[in-house]
A and B are shown apart, each in its own frame.
Chain A
């Protein structure tokens, strides 16, 4: 789990061009300004490619924090 949190932090850092050190498991759409609705679409597209998964609209709605993403990715593997 912690390994995937690290990887997701890295993904979010690259995608939104922000500093890794400011991110933690609780980082969310509320704390990261770039993580708006277009950011959410980009993030879902990125996760689908990085983890080779398909994310449904229902799942996508729940992906509002790094912890929630880690949980989804862990479940998918």
Chain B
């Protein structure tokens, strides 16, 4: 109680003093210690200012539901605030989701949500399975699962067609005790097995349907204990099935989706070394004295390293920020046999005695990401607090005092969640190592053109399809610097735009002598009579300065000419970050035809101009 009171007081002070990153961190601790609706309401009502450097994101969430979801909403909104996300939530009528989805004039479509959460229970979707097995006594008859699911799946398809919102579907939960008792497992298809199969089928469906995600509700309940989860009295009196203590868990589960859907995920994880990746201080205990390995307490640090590697596999870059002698620390990383993490896993390394905030700034600059894309983990609460004060943009991950809790704390953070992992994501760490080699070559080349030639680049135009849509949408969402219009598109928006007759969408994939860069550029063209309008034109910072944009513009010209267009035009819309792209149209002899507060409209007349594709980029058009 005392600790809660202290944190609450500190929180209110931080809000009053406008130390909003500190306030958000205290709010997060408050919600861990006292995860109640009152705490949540307090945070929602007081943490209203924008945290510096974290652009606040507004997201509209619609609940379609069969039970009372309202008690979880304040908790979900409070957690979102901590990540700078402002949720506007609307809730549908009880069990009215069918009408709400089918009727395209319903509140749902007028509200135009970014995220739809379908909160339904097994008993509503499959009452025959929940209350008895009367309907499925045809034990194991083929198609039973499909028959049970087809109404809800066709509703989801309908919603997918009528809305661009991300759709989160709650999977089916198991009963606390199977209706048939022990006999359940001896039937050819029991209740428990049937629910598992329904979930399997729902998952397969969601994987095939763009922008549809499954919330593993049964897994969530199991994680926290089925008997703790259910509050039968509140279910019977208020149609509110989740016990007071478990509401925070469903809210946190929603956050795992909301953070990536709001583009609030982190691209880089910067870690401390001593007492974070291993026990002890390498400068004092020596390489052989630090604790890491199969035996406790070294095993706790090994679990932490495993969690960090798992996060790297999702496409998050790793960096080291440690106060140490560089030689000692690198020797520990690369020579100590039990170590899972090695120096080659890190895309940037800062081991020195400088201020950590200075090091984090340098890491962001080296990796070409905004400082708000950094997450920082350190066992030392003082270092964490300093970063909160000095770099409020950085996401600071709190660790518990006991190292056995480190891995779980890191895995629980929603900033590392990804809703789809592309091949580019998985190999990102590798790209950065290759990038270092490219820089080396640049230094040894005599002229720029020699350098371009020596890269042996080849370009492939990639159309929108099942293999490319995730990456193309991701680039529109994440590219800030070399981006003409900074228009963000979800996967389903990309797909629906691609369907339209007068639009041409493509990505560009670049392979060079150091490896495959994957899809690094995106262009969306809108063909209007005799003008091609460039809606979106962006390039990943990975290939900036290699004339790829010229090849892309040359391809735009090809499209324009084959469509019989006379002019190409495109806006440059200024943001805080896209200065690197400001001269592109000008450098390709486009002329300024209009200026507004938001930017400049550039135009190229094709009757007396042409863009030559650079001879050093081989074209492989498929």
Chain B window 220-244, contacts with chain A (Cβ cutoff 8 Å), 1 for yes, 0 for no: 0000000000000110111010001
On chain A, the residues within 8 Å of B247 by CB distance are: 45
Q: Are B41 and A41 in contact (CB under 8 A)?
A: no
A31 adjacent to chain B (CB < 8 Å): no
A11 adjacent to chain B (CB < 8 Å): yes
Question: Which of B34, B240, B244, B245: most chain A Cβ within 10 A?
Answer: B244
Q: Are A17 and B37 in contact (CB under 8 A)?
A: no
On chain A, the residues within 8 Å of B71 by CB distance are: 41-42, 45
A41-B71, A45-B244, A48-B244 as given contacts; A15 in contact with B37, CB under 8 Å? yes
A2 adjacent to chain B (CB < 8 Å): no
Q: Are B244 and A57 in contact (CB under 8 A)?
A: no
Summarize A's interface: helix, strand, loop or mixed: helix
Chain B window 29-65, contacts with chain A (Cβ cutoff 8 Å), 1 for yes, 0 for no: 0000011111101100100000000000000000000
Q: Are A49 and B36 in contact (CB under 8 A)?
A: yes
On chain A, the residues within 8 Å of B45 by CB distance are: 17
A14-B41, A14-B42, A41-B240 as given contacts; A49 in contact with B245, CB under 8 Å? yes
Q: Are B36 and A50 in contact (CB under 8 A)?
A: yes
Q: Are B38 and A14 in contact (CB under 8 A)?
A: yes
B68 adjacent to chain A (CB < 8 Å): yes
Q: Are B237 and A46 in contact (CB under 8 A)?
A: no
Chain A window 30-43, contacts with chain B (Cβ cutoff 8 Å), 1 for yes, 0 for no: 00000000100110
B70 adjacent to chain A (CB < 8 Å): yes
Q: In the complex, what distance in Å separates the CA atom of A44 from the CA atom of B237?
A: 12
A41-B71, A45-B244, A46-B36 as given contacts; A15 in contact with B237, CB under 8 Å? no
Measured between C-beta atoms, what is the minimum distance from B348 to chain A in Å?
43
Q: Are B37 and A46 in contact (CB under 8 A)?
A: yes
A17-B45, A49-B245 as given contacts; A41 in contact with B234, CB under 8 Å? yes
Interface residues on B, range: 20 to 34
Q: In the complex, what distance in Å separates the CA atom of A58 from the CA atom of B588?
A: 77
A56 adjacent to chain B (CB < 8 Å): yes
- How many residues of A are in contact with the other chain, CB < 8 A? 18
On chain A, the residues within 8 Å of B36 by CB distance are: 45-46, 49-50
Q: In the complex, what distance in Å separates the CA atom of A44 from the CA atom of B244?
A: 9
Question: Which of A11, A16, A42: most chain B Cβ within 10 A?
Answer: A42
Cβ < 8 Å to A, chain B residues 11-41: 34-39, 41
Q: Are A60 and B41 in contact (CB under 8 A)?
A: no
On chain A, the residues within 8 Å of B244 by CB distance are: 45-46, 48-49
Measured between C-beta atoms, what is the minimum distance from A7 to chain B in Å?
10
Cβ < 8 Å to A, chain B residues 239-260: 240, 244-245, 247
Residue of chain B at shortest CB distance from A47? B244
A45-B71, A45-B244 as given contacts; A50 in contact with B233, CB under 8 Å? no
On chain B, the residues within 8 Å of A56 by CB distance are: 233
On chain A, the residues within 8 Å of B233 by CB distance are: 54, 56-57
Q: In the complex, what distance in Å separates the CA atom of A28 from the CA atom of B236?
A: 25
Q: Are B234 and A15 in contact (CB under 8 A)?
A: no
Question: Which of B34, B36, B245: most chain A Cβ within 10 A?
Answer: B36
Candidates A38, A46, A54; contact of B38 at CB < 8 Å: A46
Given contacts A48-B245, A57-B236, 8 further A-B contacts (CB under 8 A): A11-B38, A15-B38, A15-B41, A42-B70, A45-B71, A49-B35, A49-B36, A49-B245
B-side interface residues toward A, CB under 8 Å? 34-39, 41-42, 45, 68, 70-71, 74, 233-234, 236-238, 240, 244-245, 247
